[in-house]
Amino acid sequence: MRTLLLTSALILTSPSAFAQTLFLDDAIVVDAKGNQSTADVVVENGVITQQAATLSAPAGADTVTGTWVTSGLFAPMSSLGLTDIGSGGPGNDVASESSSTNVSERAADSFNPRSIHIGNVRQSGVTHALVAPRSGSGSIFAGTGTIVSLTGEFDSVLVSDAFVMVDLGETGTRRAGGSRAAAMAQFRAAIDDADGFFKRYSDAPDGGDVLSRQDALAFNRATRGDIPLVISVNRAADIMRIIDVKKANRSLDIIIVGAAEAWEVADAIAANNIRVIMDPLHNLPETFESVGARLDNVMFLEKAGVDFAVANLGALGVTKPATLSQHAGGAVVEGLEWADAFAAISSVPASWFGIKDKTTVVWDGDPLEVTSAPIAMSINGKPQSMTSRQKALRDRYNPTNTDKRPHKYR
């Protein structure tokens, strides 16, 4: 235990940590599907260089026990890189409240890879994320979302136009003018605008019922099924209305996010090939549309055969999805197999968007345990920094810091 704590502390605080060689003795290695095996592993500069049932520690390597080796985590819902503080103003690009556009607004154009939250969230083993905008006043359409890696580099946008984000349910009701009927009317009319794009807009730029020419062209990719349509909704009755829309428009590739009452209609969701992004810890009726929320929602989806991913959607989880693994652990508590829970925050959402980056995270314990943390990680063979602004501030103002200078000069 002392060796583990010493090595972990060194890796977390030293700028040259990735120059170290780690020998992971009897590490638990988790494959892409969440299956576990035991092996000795050598990690150099954050990258696995050797793995076998039995190895000898290389000269000069730090030996660490009790570790787990996994792929990186994928946050299937976030607003990472769109804002650093939740307040409005020019520093918040999550939603545009008075814009004349909607679907054509690309989260990739707002994404800041140097956002403070990128480095902070990466410390929790998250290497990739779905980044979604939120709808603004007057429209249920939030814009076009993106998929990013959390390297913090300027080339970290992997899929610029990954999906179209739509807010229905109570949020869509507010955006559309005050009723679910208005939101659904706007939704169906927008599908018609996009499907009939070349006929409606060829001679009349404003020929659509709901969407401008620019937004209809952007939405056309989703109505053709080229990219998914991610729809925020919770109430079971609202989910059934979405299923009705899917039946009338078979080309739609729909992913529901939220789905607090999905357990009531899980079989219908599965039968219509609709995927779900859900939070296993969502069990409080915080809104009228989620009065039926329950902790074992995930087990109904699993039993019905729904393809689902796990997210942390409550509180600041969407802005800072650092506790993603804890929410997957909550699904295990409810009866989900460990392998399936891990896949729901890694390989499953990655496969939905065609992400094949090779990632490695070394943990000091079970990654689904809240007390565990990464001690090394890499993305596509490149070691990732295990420092962040949070940790820098922690170390700077730590009462045990031996630096005698005033805080402002440290």
Over range 236-264, report the average pLDDT. Answer: 97
Nearest to 101 by CA among 133, 75, 76, 71: 133
User: Which two three-digit tokens encode residue 48?
Assistant: 């696995």
Mean pLDDT within 343-359: 96
Q: What is the DSSP string of 220-278?
A: HHHHTTSS-EEEEE--HHHHHHHHHHHHH-TT--EEEEE-TTGGGGHHHHHHTT-EEEE
Least confident of 117-126, 151-160, 169-178, 398-407: 398-407
- State the Cα–Cα distance between residues 64 and 410, nearest whole angstrom: 32
| pLDDT computed for residue 138 by the predictor | 84
Report the DSSP beta bridge partners of residue 382: 379
Q: Tell me how far the alpha carbon of residue 287 is from its chain's centroid.
A: 23
DSSP state of 57: P
Give residue-wise pLDDT tens across range 334-343. Answer: 999 999 999 9
* Residue 269 vs residues 240, 261, 289: alpha-carbon distances, Å: 8, 12, 18
Contact at 8 Å (CB) between 23 and 62?
yes
The secondary element (H helix, E strand) that includes residue 148 is strand 141-149
| Integer CA distances (angstroms), 1 to 20, 67, 364, in order | 19, 11, 10
Domains within the chain, CATH numbers bracketed: 2-71+376-409 (2.30.40), 73-356 (3.20.20.140)
Q: Write out the two tokens for 156.
A: 């970290």
Residue 192 burial (C-beta neighbours within 10 Å; 0-12, 13-18, 19+): middle
pLDDT level of residue 4 (50, 70, 90 thresholds): very low
- Condensed to tens digits (0 to 9), the pLDDT of residues 160-189 reads 999 999 999 999 999 999 999 999 999 999
- Average pLDDT over all residues of the chain: 91
Structure letter (DSSP) for residue 58: P
Q: What is the DSSP letter of 72?
A: P
Provide the pLDDT for residue 102.
Answer: 94
What are the residues whose beta carbons fall under 8 Å from the beta carbon of 383, sequence distance 6 or more?
18, 45, 46, 47, 376, 377
In terms of Cα–Cα distance, which of 114, 126, 129 is closest to 323? 126
Band of pLDDT at residue 27, cut at 50, 70 and 90: very high
φ, ψ at 49 (rounded to 5°): -110, -25
Alpha carbon distance 291, 270 (integer Å): 22
Asked whether the predicted pLDDT for residue 18 surpasses 60, the reply is no
Long-range contacts of 246-252 (CB under 8 A, 24+ apart): 246/272, 246/274, 247/272, 249/191, 249/195, 249/223, 251/223, 251/224, 251/225, 252/191, 252/222, 252/223, 252/225
Q: Do 107 and 71 contact (CB within 8 A), yes or no?
A: no
Number of residues written out for the chain: 410
Tell me how far apart the alpha carbons of residues 352 and 374 are, in angstroms, rounded to a whole number.
Answer: 25
pTM attached to this predicted model? 0.91
pLDDT at 11: 42
- Tokens 């989806």 belong to residue: 301
Identify the DSSP state of 192: H
Q: Are 91 and 319 in contact (CB under 8 A)?
A: no
Residue 276: beta bridge partners? Answer: 256, 308
Q: Which are the contacts of 165, defined by CB distance < 8 A and separation ≥ 6?
A: 132, 133, 134, 135, 141, 142, 143, 144, 145, 230, 232
Give the pLDDT confidence score for residue 5 in this predicted structure: 44
Find the distance separating the first CA and the last CA of the chain, reported in whole Å.
Answer: 31
